[in-house]
Amino acid sequence: MARHGSTVVTGPIILAIENATMCGSVALISAGLCLAEYSLTTSITHSRRLLTTVQQLMADTNFTWDRIDAIAVSSGPGSFTGLRIGLTTAKGLAMATGKPLIGVSSLTTLACQLPWTDKMICPMIDARKHEVYTAFYRYAGDGPPRRIGDVVAIDPEALAQLINNDVLFLGDGSQLYHDTLSKILGKRANFASTELFFIRAAALGHCALYKYRQGQFLDPVSAIPDYIRPSEAEVNFPIIKSE
C-alpha cells in the first residue's frame, strides 16, 4: 500500500499511453482510480510530444519507475503513425524499466468509457476512405464489455444494413457519420455524449488492469500494432517495387 497525496493507493499502478487518434493522452491508473491524466489536443502532432508528456506526468506526480507495475498502450486500430509511435515508445519504456507491457484494443477502450448499458455498443474510429474501424460489444457481468465478433474496417452504410437491434454508437467515426447512421437506422441508432467520442488513456488503463491481473502481457520485442488493414506504404510498395 502506498500514498499519493491524500489518496491511498492499494493496487497495481499502470502507466497508460493512448496514441491511436488525433487526441492522445497519458495517465496513471490504480485500483479504479485515475491518479493523473494529461491530454494532447493541439494542432501539433501529439506523437512528437508523447515521451515528453510521459516524463512530465511522472515528474508532476512525483512517481518514480520503481512504483509503476506495468505499461499499457493502445494496440489499434487507429492512426497508423500514432499507433506505431505509441507502441514504439511503450516498448522502449518497458524494455528500459523491465516493466510488463499490456496492449489494449482502441475499440475496447472506447466501449469501456460507457457506463453499463443493456444496448449493443458500437465504438467507431474514423478509418478514412469512407470507412470506420468498428466492432460490437456487450456488457455481461463484471468487468469491461466483451467484444462480439471481429474488428473490421467497413463502410458505415454497409455496417448500418447489418444492424437489427438498438445500438449505442460512440467515437469520432460515429460523429462523422451520424446523419448516415440515423437515416438508415432511425430510432435504433443511439449516440453517446460527445465527451465520450475520444479515447482516453484513463479508460485504457482501467481495461489494462484486468489484463494485468490475468497476466496477459505482450512481448516488448515482437509486439506490433493491430492495423486491421495495410497502410498506404504497404499497399503501394508492390507498385513502387515493380517500377
Domain ranges of the chain: 2-107+199-242, 114-196
DSSP letter at 165 equals: S
SS3 47: helix
Burial 42-76 (b: 16+ CB within 10 A, else e): eeeebbeebbebbeebbeeeebeeebbebbbbbbb
pTM as predicted: 0.89
pLDDT of residue 3: 54
pLDDT of residue 236: 38
Whether CATH 3.30.420.40 fits 114-196: yes
pLDDT of residue 81: 86
Domains 2-107+199-242 and 114-196 share a fold: yes
What are the respective helix, strand and coil percentages of the chain, to the nearest 5?
A: 40, 30, 30
**Residue ranges of the chain whose pLDDT lies below 70:** 1-8, 41-48, 230-243
pLDDT of residue 243: 37
Q: Among 3.90.1150.10, 3.30.420.40, 1.10.260.40, 1.10.10.10, name the CATH number for the domain at 2-107+199-242.
A: 3.30.420.40
